[in-house]
Chain A
Amino acid sequence: MKTYKHRALLLSFITILALGTIILFAKTTSAESQKKIRIGATVSMSGKFSTEIGPFKQLMEAYATTINTRGGIYVKSAGKRLPVKFIVYDDKSDGPTARKFYERLISVDKADILLGPYSSPVTFAASVAAEENKVPFIAICANSDKIYNRGFKWIVCVIDAAPRYTHRYWDMIKAEGWAKTVAFVVEDTLHPQGVYRGAKNLVDSAGLKEVSLNVLPANTHDFTAAIMKIQKTSPDIVFVSANVPFSIAFMRQARELSLTPKEFHVIHHGGVFKNGLGAGSEGVVGQSYWTQGMNYGNPELFTEVMKLSGISLDDFPWAPAYMMAFETATQAIERAGSLDREKLMATLKQLKVMTVGGVVSFAENGVGTINTYPSQIIGGQYHIIWPPEVATARHEYPGSKN
């Protein structure tokens, strides 16, 4: 009898929970104030990208707090400054989940503008929701060509396309003229593959020769065979196109097995990489959106937001790209003078705005202009090394320390 009662209770509980969910959806819509600028986004707080951008909800909230303490964003049609509110969900690093939450951001939370999720595959799926519902969507760290070749009208991206990700580095190598051969180590995932394909073309046009190509799965734990293969070709540059965990594991073993090219280039060599390798990271060149000392836009605002969020730039080098997206959204709202989605999108398409990482504008297909700068770990610090007008230190080569 008691068991039966427990079960009956449980069943009631389930029904209430299920109904409650639907009721809560409706409540959110009507409960939300209309006097706020609602910016919707998802962040990969779980899943494979969580180590890359897990705490970025704090970055968004810190930006909102900073802007709101200054009075908010001026919206001409409202005749006053409106406070900003970020509505953020965890997309679990998964495309369909992200798409579902973007649908929620549009239909339940009534977001005025959307910021994209992290990575190309997730953005690919999520941007469909924005396109179908005609809501402005600013993609951030998603530069695969596939996203922008679909003819979508409601998407723009602050950063440049993946194939051009390292063009400044190869410009520098060509100008310096000391390197002749390159060996590639590529993680078999979308972004590293895209960067590799671009780098391969840039290498060819810079007159360098590819002497070894090693495409490895993301979960590779032993690189001995690849390292020995590279050693036989004695390349001037070993170019590692991979995400951070893969890069750390590769570099650790490369150091152990005395792989000594003139230079290691690791596309993502942020703080986690540096801390994970310690002295082994010294001299490694990589790509950065921003380092201390760059003076584009409003670096003080960025520093303030980072401080408030408690996020370290070294650990999360994508933070500047997110800041550029915030600045772009802010400028688009101010210049449109309205939260009307069509006006916002039209303004975004025409926008040319100075951000912390440089000037952002968009091509016809939505691809942006922001690109990374080659940076080197010198004395444990990151320094931009090219182009000369932005560089904060001179490029050291041969850079690898044994």
Chain B
Amino acid sequence: MTQDLKTRLDEATDRPTAFVPDLDHLLAAGRRRARSHFAVTIAGTVAAVAVAATAGAIALNQGGGSGPNVLPAPPAGQATSATPTTTTRCLDEAGQPSPKGADKWESMVTVKDKYGSSTVRRSAGQLAFCSEFSGKPTIVTQQVMLPRSSVWLMSVCRTDPSCTDIVTVFMGRLPANAVRVAVTPAGGGKPVDATTRKGFFAYRWIDVPDLSRPATARIYDSAGRELGHYRV
């Protein structure tokens, strides 16, 4: 009964030439759109986390808002030069604590500094992002989930009494086709390549977070083309 309507609709769309889009233009525009969407997603997510991390860092740095910002004095009789306790924390790709023993999984990539080390570990398809550091982890531990990648900001207060600097750990899975991650820490300076190995990357740096001069990490493919960037 509605065949007549269909016929009319078919006739109405009849025209001598079919619509053939310019495929080159379409593909170029699609790639460009995908790249910009990737960059915007990353920038937005990381910026949100950076604000949270910085706010937490400031809160910790202020120590409740009164008095000098120093760590508690050690108990009487305890040597101040005692070696601080080493702590390892591992979180999975969803930001949840990793299973027990994750800190012993196969190391994919690791970075170290004098305050500790950070390692991406893998076992049976599961990933664990582990950070080892002296002293107690702060609450300023954030994870950023990204398309095809996962970046972590695991900021810890330095163990020295001034407690002003933040160790930021930046690690995750390299996006497809990416071979290099160049990091420019907050405050500017020359970009430094993150350590990459087995499809993962990691980089640790120590600074005082400054939102007015964000850190930037740019991801490149083997041809040197930028695939996306993070601003922290």
Chain B associates with chain A? no
Instruction: Give the A-binding residues of B (Cβ under 8 A).
Output: none
Instruction: Give the B-binding residues of A (Cβ under 8 A).
Output: none
